[in-house]
Amino acid sequence: MGKKIMRFKIQLILVFIIIFTYISTSLFLLPYGNAVKAIAYYYGSRGDVVIKIQTKLRDWGYYNGSVDGIYGYQTYTAVRYFQSKNGLNVDGVVGDATLSALAINVSGGSSGSNNQDVMLLARLINGEARGEPYEGQVAVGAVILNRTRDPRFPSTLAGVIYQPGAFTAVVDGQVHANMEQNSINAARDALNGWDPSEGAIYYFNPSTATSSWIWSRPLIKIIGKHRFCR
């Protein structure tokens, strides 16, 4: 009887050791598992996503090399230039944050793309129109969308937003400010078709505008501090 109890205790101890080892190993390897799952493109990477990165950077004026799907030195320096201009960590690695800023969705799927559009537009609204009347925030989002339909501007949401020098919030990094819920709501309303700007493709704040040219644009209406123009 004593031997049976002893064997049971030994078996019980062994079970606890196995469970403890499994849990400890899992916790130790967890960061490495997450690292493997992380999506990143860097010097030496190749493939379709690199082509997308090069194409976006070329279209937005950051890259003038070949769109060949090879992440070489020119791509690396263009990525760093893009990161420095858009308030991102300047490391030359295209991870989640830089992919998002480039509006590249590597996972695919329409719902993901729709949500990405909302957040991308919301970031611009948040950076450009925080504190403005809600109608004015939606109007800023509508201007971005109006530009995508105008042949004088890029045809994509991200292309318009990240067109070099187009928006102060992108230049000074306010596009990455803490997100307000109103900005997200305004982006959704603009994407759903509400256009308080009445077709405007320009807007500016007269108290901060430094370009004399912008004053030549025909005025449509004023909402809050912004003048919306053709």
Q: What average pLDDT score do residues 103-132 get?
A: 78
Q: Where residue 130 falls among pLDDT bands split at 50, 70, 90? A: very high
Count the domains in the chain.
Answer: 3
Of the chain, the percentage scoring pLDDT greater than 90 comes to 46
CA distances from 80 to 84, 91, 103, 171 (A): 6, 6, 16, 15
Residues 114 and 224 in one domain: yes
Residues 118 and 160 in one domain: yes
57 in any annotated domain? yes
Residues 91 and 140 in one domain: no
Q: What average pLDDT score do residues 138-156 get?
A: 93
Task: Quote the pLDDT of residue 30.
Answer: 41
Residues 137 and 223 in one domain: yes
